[in-house]
Amino acid sequence: MVKLSKGHVKWVLENLLIMKCGELPQGSRGDGTPSSIGGRTAKTSATFTDVAEDVGEVERRLNMCGKDGLIPILWYTCAMTREYIALNLGITKKEVKDRGKKAMNYITQEWPPTRSYEETKP
């Protein structure tokens, strides 16, 4: 299984809509990573299949975080502010920050994780 760095996950989320439309973002090396980030630790072959697999894996892992998995998507993909997210989820800005950070930490840890998301410390 591919280990995903926080930089790579952030980049995937920022470009999620483009990649879901079947295109590679500008400035990518073709393997789903931007030229400036060496986030993948697996294959070096450049195919769109690799990008689609990374998108699917990021989404799968975020789904395991329950509602907290929405926070990185809203933050990076939709460019929503902490204030907006807090208001619409009915939580504080600090909770948005803490729960978003916890979700990012969970999905970028050694995979598969030894503990469930609920068992993970913030």
Note down pLDDT in tens along the chain; length 122 residues.
567 889 989 999 999 998 888 788 776 654 545 554 544 444 444 456 677 888 899 999 999 999 999 999 999 999 999 999 999 999 999 999 999 999 999 999 877 788 889 888 77
- Contact between 107 and 4 under an 8 Å Cβ cutoff? The reply is yes
Query: Quick one: residue 90, left, alpha or beta (phi over 0 = left, psi -120 to 50 = alpha)?
Result: left
In this prediction the pTM is 0.78
Q: Which residues pair with 28 in a beta bridge?
A: 34
